[in-house]
Amino acid sequence: MTKGTVTRRRVTLALALAAIFATLCGAYAQTTLKVGVSTEPASMDPQYSTTGATQLASQQIFETIVGRDKNLRMIPSLALSWKEVDPLTWELKLRPGVKFHDGKAFGADDIVFSVKRIPRVPDSPSSYKRNVAAIKDAVAVDNLTVRLLLKTPSPQLPIDLTFIYVLPSTTPADATQDDFNKGKYVVGTGPFKFVEWVRGDRLVLDKNPAYWGVKSSYDRVIFRPITNDPSRVAALLAGDVDIIDQVSPVDQDRLRKDSRVTVLSKPAATMMYIHMDSDRDKTPFVAGKDGKPLAKSPLKNPKVREALSLAINRQALVERVLSGAAEPAGQFVPEGMVGYAPDLLPEPYDVEKAKRLLAEAGYPNGFSLTLHAPNDRYLNDEQVAQTIGQFFARIGLDVKVQALPYSVFSTAATKLEYSIFLMGFGNTTGDSPRGMTAVPATYNTTTGLGANNRGRYSNPEFDKLIVAAAAASDDDKREALLQEAARIAFAKDHAIIPLYYQTTTWALKKGLTYEARMDEYTLANYVRPVK
């Protein structure tokens, strides 16, 4: 064999090996999906917090008893069917052949365990208790049948079950949040298995090949929290991630013109609002214009809260700050959803009336306040807060705006450290009761009502209507009760100040598609290459 022949063979072999290596690298790239998200979960325990970021992570790994489709309609999940046996008994028929990620067969014992565990989850900042408040007991009839025995009739129980994430019954009762966050007990039945969570950097998941539902097109998914909007867009354009959520209005037009990118939008169920401390006489971030404490917080006065609402030009907010990616709101849900009251329109912008109301309430010269807000959770949230601060200044208030990362902001808000702040709530049931029972309802750790009531508003008349609506089996009666409750909370008391319903926008690299959802979640098993 000549020296030239050997050289040629070596070159040929080297080229072949290089081709194989390139193919393998290409295959790996094709089977790894990188998702840039605007925020990150509070815990890997799916029953720890109802916040959207935590549910987004939970949805990848765990499943709920009853499911919801992209338009928030109830669909079978781990329960194939559900029926009301009598007013105090519901029966669930479970899906056969489902396995947890550790190989354990799913069955009735897991439903019973998961339902009973929720009230025992310690230190939950936003509990699921309200979703099981009507349940007195859960009983396994056989391996694929569960009966839920109720304290009071609950026609909306199937809706509540769409929020009950199911863990295996083998999960220790004393499992800690640290155990979950390290992945020790992160075992679900969902489309992905837990690999690792490095807070602030990444959540890594692997495909569950045994999943009964829609399987992922990718072997691995990496969620990266990128809280800054421009940085998230830059990461997409640089190829560091394949899809991003919460595309800001200012970036949408530019991305729609970029041939490397596909942009998808969906009307969302999130209502943005101003929450106020309407309970305490002394509230930490409200004072006189001289900086001295006031004898009584003005936020306790419904006239002051109405004045603040009238001071906000919602249409200008939507058009100028959100570039039209929202719709002004006057109540928890938009037209078309159950509980919508047609007479509760967005509050008109009326500076002069707002000033008159302040004077009638005893504050003709206004007062000073600090408005808190997240700066990385919702569309242009910090800019929205700054603009609202300017609106408040027009009616004579001295306003300071302080925006913080959502993880810091939400913890402080839950601890009641603020006086007035910007917040959002996702009405992911497609009707008003979830928001109404979570935010304006009187805070009650036993029932779970008012779990997101960070202003501690309380009106027994409102609570009575909400409880009656939950027990009403007649749809028309239930809707009338919800509408009347909305009138009390929004028109009479101004318990919170509705601002707008936001639109959610995703951007993906060209060649990918996603089934956009009203609940704003980015479910990785629905991200697919275009065929």
Flag the least confident range among 174-178, 189-193, 240-244, 443-447.
Answer: 443-447
Architecture of domain 52-161: Alpha-Beta Complex (3.90)
The residue among 479 and 6 whose pLDDT is bigger is 479
- 514 pLDDT band (50/70/90 cuts)? very high
Task: Give the residue ranges of DSSP H helices in 239-379.
Answer: 249-256, 302-310, 314-316, 351-360
Q: For residue 9, what pLDDT is reported?
A: 57
Domain ranges of the chain: 32-39+175-267+504-529, 52-161, 268-503
Is pLDDT at 21 greater than 50 in this prediction? no
- What residues pair up with 372 in beta bridges, in sequence order? 402, 421
Helix (H) or strand (E) holding 180: helix 177-181
pLDDT in tens, 248-279: 888 988 999 999 999 998 877 789 999 999 99
Distance of CA 371 to the CA centre of its chain: 22
Among 178, 207, 213, which Cα is nearest to 101's? Answer: 207
CATH of span 32-39+175-267+504-529: 3.40.190.10
Q: Please compute the mean of the pLDDT values over residues 23-32 and round it to a whole number.
A: 54
pLDDT in tens, 225-236: 999 999 999 999
Flag the least confident range among 129-133, 139-143, 237-241, 455-459.
Answer: 129-133
Q: Please compute the mean of the pLDDT values over residues 493-506 and round it to a whole number.
A: 94
- 361 pLDDT band (50/70/90 cuts)? very high
Q: Please compute the mean of the pLDDT values over residues 350-362 and round it to a whole number.
A: 97
DSSP 339-375: T--TT-PPPP--HHHHHHHHHHTT-TT--EEEEEEES
pLDDT in tens, 92-102: 999 999 999 99
pLDDT in tens, 140-152: 999 999 999 999 9
d(CA 455, CA 373): 14
Q: For residue 4, what pLDDT is reported?
A: 55
Two tokens, residue 173: 């009762």
pLDDT in tens, 166-224: 999 999 999 999 999 999 999 999 999 999 999 999 999 999 999 999 999 999 999 99
pLDDT over 90, % of the chain = 75
Distance of CA 165 to the CA centre of its chain: 15
Two tokens, residue 466: 């909400």
Q: State which fold the 268-503 domain adopts.
A: Dipeptide-binding Protein; domain 3 (3.10.105)
Contact 329, 500 (CB under 8 A): yes
pLDDT in tens, 285-336: 999 999 999 989 999 999 999 999 999 999 999 999 998 888 999 999 888 7
Non-local CB neighbours of 370 within 8 Å, separated by 6+ positions: 285, 399, 400, 401, 402, 418, 419, 420
Which pTM does this prediction carry? 0.71
What average pLDDT does the structure give for the chain? Answer: 91
d(CA 267, CA 198): 32
Three-class DSSP category at 55? helix
